[in-house]
Amino acid sequence: MERRSFLKKAAVGATAGAVAAPALAQSQPTINWRLASSFPKSLDTLFGTAEIFSKRVSQLTGGKFNIRVFAGGEIVPALQVMDAVQAGTVEMGHTAPYYFFGKDPTFAFDCAVPFGMNSRQQTAWFDQGGGRDLLRNFYKDYGIINFLGGNTGAQMGGWFRKEIKTLNDIKGLKMRISAFAGKVMAPLGLVPQQLAGADIYPALEKGTLDAVEWTTPYDDEKLGFYKVAPYYYAPGWWESGAQLSFYVGIKEWEKLPKEYQAAIEAASGEAHFTMQAEYDAKNPAALARLIKNGAKLRFFSKEIMEACYKAAVTTMEEEASKNAKFKAIYEPYKRFQRDQNQWFSVAEAPMMNFMNGRK
């Protein structure tokens, strides 16, 4: 599993920090980088992951390699982080790669695809299943090297003004939703909208939107969607394990001393695990508070889930037929997911089903 390899890297990094930091401080140059995040400071788990990463890099290099983190909009707009890294405006970025779906749908494999792998499976694919090599080969064309940057786990299906019981209830619905999910649901009658985080609540409040999906209860609570769209649906099948990434410009990466490169590797792994742990720890209480304050928890019907699944498969197969880069990752991704689902059905799923049935 990925945990083993990253713990090994982290252990090496920690040892270097404890034993060799003084030597590093004397022998290595002081380097100051800037990191542009796609997230506001108010979303402390998303934005905070980059701060955890930055602090750890500094510790592992004896304070010689310092990466200053900027929130979305402080240097560049939230959805232009990749462009900024690619252009050399900043040395690093922290973002959700599916934001760049419009450039190439292949970016989604570094984040989440509809009915894709869960958090553990996504991490296993990246670290042990060939995903890292496949994605880094794709990113070469953009002058970027990518690193694990956290995972939210399975996200919620969003906030709706009215109940969504059948496929007919989806038709004509204006919903802020990720680009890939929007493409899947458009043939079912949904009208997908793309809005940055800061613009979502005002649009929902004014009626410009009928529904919105964001992330998980802990983040959704902060944004107050329940006040105007009380029906809270699950699951967010388009983001069953949404992985974030740290981006580094390849030219800047190649300039770094090997010790500093190792620090980035170790710190990114540590930050990655911390994000998932934080969400798992904070979501239960946040969901309970939301329900207490008026949110009405609902689940998408089997009819809706089946229709969306069929539409997702059709959409992805069509993309693979015309996009060689997408197909090069899609095929091995599908095989790995199939094997993972078979394994999870043997031990993980039965155990969870039993425990969920307990009072």
Residue numbers in the known binding site for Na(+) are: 214
Q: Which residue has the tokens 């690093």?
A: 92
CA distance 9 to 303: 46
Binding residues for substrate: 155, 176, 213, 239
Those residues whose C-beta lies under 8 Å from the C-beta of residue 116, and which sit 6 or more positions away, are 122, 240, 241, 333, 337
Binding residues: 155, 176, 213-214, 239
Q: Cα angle vertex 114, ends 271, 294, to 5°? A: 75
> Which among 183, 180, 223, 178 is positioned nearest to 199, based on CA atoms?
223
Question: What is the token pair recorded at 217?
Answer: 């209860």
Q: Give a three-class secondary structure readout of the chain.
A: CHHHHHHHHHHHHHHHHHHHHHHHHHHCCCEEEEEEECCCCCCHHHHHHHHHHHHHHHHHCCCCEEEEEECCCCCCCHHHHHHHHHHCCCCEEEECHHHHCCCCHHHHHHCCCCCCCCHHHHHHHHHHCCHHHHHHHHHHHHCEEEEEEEECCCCCCEEECCCCCCHHHCCCCEEECCHHHHHHHHHHCCEEECCCHHHHHHHHHHCCCCEECCCCHHHHHHHCHHHCCCEEEECCCCCCCCEEEEEEEHHHHHHCCHHHHHHHHHHHHHHHHHHHHHHHHHHHHHHHHHHHCCCEEEECCHHHHHHHHHHHHHHHHHHHHHCHHHHHHHHHHHHHHHHHHHHHHHCHHHHHHHHHCCC
CA-only gyration radius of the chain, Å: 21
